[in-house]
Amino acid sequence: MDKNLTRFAWLSILTAVFTIGLKVVAYQLTGSVGLLSDALESGVNLFTAVFALVTLAIAARPPDADHTFGHSKAEYFSSGVEGSLILLAALLIGLTAVQRLFNPVPLQMLGVGLIVSFVAALSNGATGMILLRAGKQYRSVTLSANGRHLLTDVWTTFGVLLGLTAVVLTGWVWLDALIAILVALHIAGTGVKVVKEAVNGLMDSALPDAEVAQVEAILDRYQNESVQYHALRTRRAGAQRFVTVHIQVPGHWSVQQGHSLLERIERDLYQDLSPISVITHLEPVEDPLSWADIPLNREFA
């Protein structure tokens, strides 16, 4: 994990503070529950941005005696917390909107409120795109989740703006509460996706199918050298990939010959899928016991 990733977390924090201020002002000017829901979601953005800053600092730590595989899984905790807070925000927004639906309140100064919220949306949109690009470039679950959340906030804001525009044109104040309910449902969907990704990471899910296919394609190149493989297992922890595989070679090969082959395989995997940790196990292809260790936990007779 690149320690410089924390600069993106700081960018997210500054953007959240800025947009919260704008949206609170917009709510106070208009009294719109839709704008209030938008401000609440930005409050979640601020909390998760601070949590992401701490998490990225932890994930950047090198392996140590107690964490020999590194600290990159810390990102999934950040993603899980963010998803949970998104769901909580959706619940609070939904409850507030339902109450306002049955007890509508006249709205004021909608024109100014719309302008202020539009500026906040532009700010979130720019930062969200930066975080998504950084998350993809550095394979950071935390930055990707934060970026998606900010872009969701943008769509939320535009939905609220459309709703308030409809209120201005029709005079139907209840549309404000209806839009807020729709916003809550949309936010909840995003929260579920973020939590699901975090759970999959903590459960050591395999690499995506496309990346597993890359691994298999590299291993298949060596089959014309009388080499076979099995017990291929993959997982991911944040940006770090892990691959273990058993390589079977002719029994008459020397230790040096087998070791050189494994070095070539590991180099090829690293070149195509870095960052990746590869653990290989060498076996003689003629020995029936070589096939007895395909299960995760081998049973000895």
Q: Are residue 259 and residue 190 in the same domain, yes or no? A: no
Q: Are residue 51 and residue 102 in the same domain, yes or no? A: yes
Domain-embedded: residue 297: no
Among 96-100, 265-269, 285-289, the range scoring the smallest mean pLDDT is 96-100
- Other Cβ atoms less than 10 A from the Cβ of 90: the count is 24
Q: Are residue 220 and residue 161 in the same domain, yes or no? A: no
CA dist 227 and 229 (Å) reads 7
Q: Which residue has the tokens 């107690």?
A: 66
CA dihedral in degrees (251, 252, 255, 261; nearest 10)? -70
Domain-embedded: residue 77: yes
Contact 150, 127 (CB under 8 A): yes
Domain-embedded: residue 299: no
Pick the closest to residue 242 from 280, 209, 281, 268 (CA basis).
280
Q: Are residue 110 and residue 234 in the same domain, yes or no? A: no
Helix axes 33-59, 174-202, angle to 10 degrees: 20
Confidence of residue 1 (pLDDT cuts 50, 70, 90): very low
Q: Are residue 182 and residue 218 in the same domain, yes or no? A: no
Angle at CA of residue 276, ends 1 and 239, nearest 5°: 35
Q: What percentage of the chain exceeds 90 in pLDDT? A: 19
Q: Are residue 198 and residue 213 in the same domain, yes or no? A: no
Domain of 274: which CATH number?
3.30.70.1350
How far does CA 93 lie from the centroid of its chain?
23
Residue 179 has a pLDDT of 79
Q: What is the mean pLDDT of residues 242-262?
A: 93
- Other Cβ atoms less than 10 A from the Cβ of 82: the count is 28
Q: Are residue 196 and residue 213 in the same domain, yes or no? A: no
Domain-embedded: residue 16: yes
The residue out of 152, 170, 202 marking a domain boundary is: 202
The residue out of 202, 221, 239 marking a domain boundary is: 202
Q: Are residue 113 and residue 218 in the same domain, yes or no? A: no
CA dist 235 and 229 (Å) reads 18
Contact 146, 12 (CB under 8 A): yes
pLDDT one-digit tens code per residue, 47-82? 777 777 777 777 778 888 888 777 777 777 777 887
- Give the sheet arrangement for strand 240-249, strand by strand: 228-237, 240-249, 276-284
Whole-model pTM over 0.75: no
Q: Are residue 155 and residue 234 in the same domain, yes or no? A: no
Q: Total domain count for the chain?
A: 2
The residue out of 136, 167, 202 marking a domain boundary is: 202
Residue 259 has a pLDDT of 94
Domain of 44: which CATH number?
1.20.1510.10
Indicate if the alpha-carbon torsion angle 263, 245, 287, 225 is positive or negative: negative
Domain-embedded: residue 300: no
Q: Are residue 223 and residue 104 in the same domain, yes or no? A: no
Decide if pLDDT at 151 tops 90.
no
Among 5-14, 46-55, 279-288, the range scoring the smallest mean pLDDT is 46-55
Q: Are residue 240 and residue 187 in the same domain, yes or no? A: no
Q: What is the mean pLDDT of residues 191-203?
A: 82
Residue 211 has a pLDDT of 93
Write out the residue range of the structural domain in which residue 270 sits: 209-291
Q: Are residue 243 and residue 271 in the same domain, yes or no? A: yes
Contact 251, 286 (CB under 8 A): yes
Domain-embedded: residue 116: yes
Contact 32, 160 (CB under 8 A): yes
Contact 158, 20 (CB under 8 A): no
What does the longest C-alpha to C-alpha distance in the chain come to?
87
